Structure 1
Amino acid sequence: MTSILFKNGALLDPLEAELRPGYEVLVEGDTVREVSDRPISSAGAHVVDLNGKTIMPGLIDLHAHMIATQFDLPGQVRMPNVFVTLKALPIMQGILRRGFTTVRDAGGSGLALKQSVEMGLAQGPRLFIAGRALSQTGGHGDTRGRADFIVPDAPCNCCVRVGALSRVVDGVDELRKAVREELQMGADQIKIMASGGVASPTDPIGAFGYSEDEIRAVVAEAQGRGTYVMAHAYTAASMQRAVRCGVRTIEHGNLIDEPTARLMAEHGAFVVPTLVAYEALHSEGVKYGLPAESAAKIETVRVAGLQSLEIFKRAGMKMGFGSDLLGPSHRLQSDEFTIRAQVLTPAEIISSATTIGAEVLGMTGKLGRLAAGAFADLLIVDGNPLKDLNCLTGQGEHIHVVMKGGKVEFGTLH
């Protein structure tokens, strides 16, 4: 078993307000074996002197789409499967290079992509997948344009479209079956649409998604398999319905109000804002093929983004880190740090991308902190993120080493 001993590092523990200099971290195989402010003895370990650089846990993005390879998502559905898969590979590499060692895929990625990373066939973050997101007819996941007659565009099981991030399902019984199918195919959690959206062609943002009976059915099926439901929702009313029906995480949440935020906190729900997505859609969506009907909806949710952070913070909501970017805008992932810094402290933002992310994933103790027994997902950073988040932005220029599961994915150990 390979052992690596990092010495003379400044430990970033998300539960502490300041860096802790003079720490050592021992990695054995894929696990953190020991973390100490005293010398660690390990015969045969490869010793790395960090010379005071920051050593911190790998980052967690709770809302990203590995196969969102272009802005025109309806057009992607018709793209040959191999094209979508090959275009996803550099997206995953870029995410990992920016220090995000774990991603919760919010719709689209299947078990084969997750296993490809685990087997070393593809380089990318550890994936927690939702399979295909579930959408009602005419909802956020219904990518069909308007027509006199809507014909089903979902192919048979032997011709599944890899580029489809979602599937259209209506009714309690059909939803129960769809949840069971996604879980049987390897989904770690279930994603539903609880309100209208931006990147979909025919649904107003303020539209409700599934009925309450439908949401409860999805939640019951997920809970019966020991997992949970994440829900796309923008409006306060849609968030109230979802949380009351048992949804665990609200995605986006831009149009929140104070009473709804308090209700969510009382129910122990999480929220995953994705503010960088709207900046990307606003600045370059049309340039890269965002349909006109989607571009027209951006401002409604974009302008409310920072205010939503203030409301969630006052309510004591636990906020995870999310990006939700499409195609070439994946390069902007770490700009979410900068946007949130207008409202939140660096410590709060780092917690959202570490310990809160681990809690959402049910991986507390395994992800989000460098502690004995955790996965050896770590970053060596030039700078102090608790003082200046810029050392985590860009494309990883200030991140000298990215390690996932004890393997150095980027950088070298001297």
Structure 2
Amino acid sequence: MPLRNDPGSAPSPATVVLRDAAILDVETGEVSAPRTIVAHAGDIVEISTSTRTVAGAEEFSVAGTTVLPGLIDAHAHVTQASGDFAEILSWTPAYHAARTARELHRMLLRGFTTVRDMGGADTGLRRAVEERLITGPMLKVGGPIFAPTGGHALTRVVDGEVEVRRALRAELRDGADHIKLTLSGGVISRMRIDSLGFSEAEIVAAVDEAHLAHRYVGAHVYSAEAVARALRLGVRTIEHGNFLDEECLALFLERGAFYVPTLATFWAIVEGHTGRHLDPDARAAVVEVFERGLESLALADRAGVRIGYGTDLHGEGLAFQLEEFRIRGRVQDPLSVIRAATVVGAEIIGEEGRAGIVREGARADLIALDGDPSQDLSLLSSGTALRLVLTDGQPIRLDGSQRRRTT
């Protein structure tokens, strides 16, 4: 069957009905008896046992599958379709947009109906998805990554409280959903991984500006020192954080902050899928970062820290967006990993009650899988069990389900 809602295709009906839906409650782990789900104008308007005909609706039978909320990747880079940053800089804006549109569509076909971009995507790209000019997940964007002189990664450099406030005010005025700061070095960076980025005064200024706009700051950090510093200064989401200690765990709980590990990006390097240009010493360092990241995830999970699902993949690595499920399954139970990619992700992006959950009044962002992923996490990590994706009430993928239009 051809994909629905490809750019240029006719819009789908405003009402969609899923029949015989066994719904996974991601909070309790319970799977319901078969239900009828009615979505209209992008929202779930009814979940019931009704078998009545819904006039004008497009109907899908999802019997034999498990329906759960669409997935949320809380740390992605949708504009980085190449792992070679120099190549990305050589692209024209039109070509870059076309490559990005293709990656967004692929993410949707993996079951990701919401993505929080953590460096690169702007409000124009978010608008293009909202207006259905391109097919992709709902986007939360923060524009460029902000770093001090000598800081990590391809970023916008700002120094001093005045520059920080001026730069953030411009992004927030233009509609940024969040702000990202690099508060330490990185794995592939000229700035040492244990170095600290920005002064405390600069971080406080950034957090203040985000709060004034009713937004928040997420921080790229690795060492326990950098994580604890960020949390004490009001950062809301910790990205990566591969070297946590007990102080970090206590601060997460005290401040109500979120932890977003991104283990898939290190796994991809360790397995040779990306980072082929790295020398042996750098590759050995990545192995340690990956293993320590697994240990930190296990510690945070046991401590009750709120953990989101992130991947931080680039270029060829984007194809492994679902691998994070398998990796986390090494140290977490399946339902905890599923919660990270649904209900906790929704809290991170400020969409609790609207995304990451299947209930009346929520967004009609749903996926249907052959089997129950809370019992077998490989159903998500493999990608082969996916049968239906519904995003904003629009059917995107259907393999094997029965469909009919009512009158």
Q: Deviations over 1:276-306 (max 9, x none)?
A: 1101122236665568896564234112121
Instruction: Select the residue among 218, 225, 244 that pairs with 1:230.
Output: 218
Shift of residue 250, structure 1, vs aligned partner: 0.2
Report the Cα offset of residue 42 of structure 1: 5.6
The 5-angstrom pairing of residues 5-404 of structure 1 reads: 5-36=17-48, 38-39=49-50, 41=52, 43-44=54-55, 45-141=57-153, 143=154, 166-200=155-189, 202-284=190-272, 289=277, 295=283, 297-394=285-382, 396-404=383-391
Distance 1:301 1:280 in 2: 12
In the aligned structure 2, how far is the partner of 1:403 from the partner of 1:300? 39
* CA distance in 2: counterparts of 1:388 and 1:285, whole angstroms: 25
For 1:271, the aligned partner's letter is: Y
1:373: Cα distance to partner?
0.9
Distance 1:114 1:292, change over 3 A: farther
Q: What's the % identity of the aligned pairs?
A: 38
Question: How far apart are residue 79 of structure 1 and its match?
Answer: 3.4
Change (3 A) 1:3 1:82: closer
Indicate if the aligned counterparts of 1:135 and 1:168 stay in contact, CA closer than 8 A: yes
Q: Is the 8 A contact 2:268 2:274 kept in 1?
A: no
Match of 1:405 among 387, 392, 399: 392
Runs of 4+ off more than 4 Å: 285-297
* Greater Cα offset, 297-306 or 42-51: 42-51
CA positional deviation for 1:241: 0.9
Query: CA-atom RMSD, angstroms?
Result: 1.9
Q: Secondary structure at the match of 1:14?
A: coil
Structure 2: distance between partners of 1:281 and 1:186: 34
Letter in 2 for 1:182: E
CA distance in 2, matches of 1:231, 1:361: 15
* Alpha-carbon distance in structure 1 between the residues aligned to 2:188 and 2:173: 28
* 1:401 aligned counterpart, secondary structure: strand
Quick one: structure 1 residues 82 and 306, their matched pair in 2 at CA, closer, same or farther if it must change by over 3 Å? Answer: same
- Aligned partner letter, 1:59: L
Structure 1 spans left out of the alignment, 5+ residues: 144-165
Runs of 5+ consecutive residues of structure 2 not aligned to the other structure: 1-12
Change (3 A) 1:11 1:274: same
How far apart, in 1, do the equivalents of 2:274 and 2:69 lie?
A: 36
Following superposition, the deviation at residue 392 of structure 1 comes to 1.4
Distance in 2 (CA, whole Å) between partners of 1:286 and 1:364 is 34
- Number of matched pairs: 388
One-letter code aligned to 1:9: A
Residue identity in the other structure for 1:191: K
Supply the distance in 2 between the matched residues of 1:299 and 1:54 (Cα, whole angstroms). Answer: 36
Q: Which deviates further from its counterpart, 8-17 or 68-77?
A: 68-77
Change (3 A) 1:82 1:2: closer
Structure 1 contact 285–295 (Cα < 8 Å) conserved: no
Contact kept, 8 Å, 2:115 with 2:139, in 1: the verdict is: yes
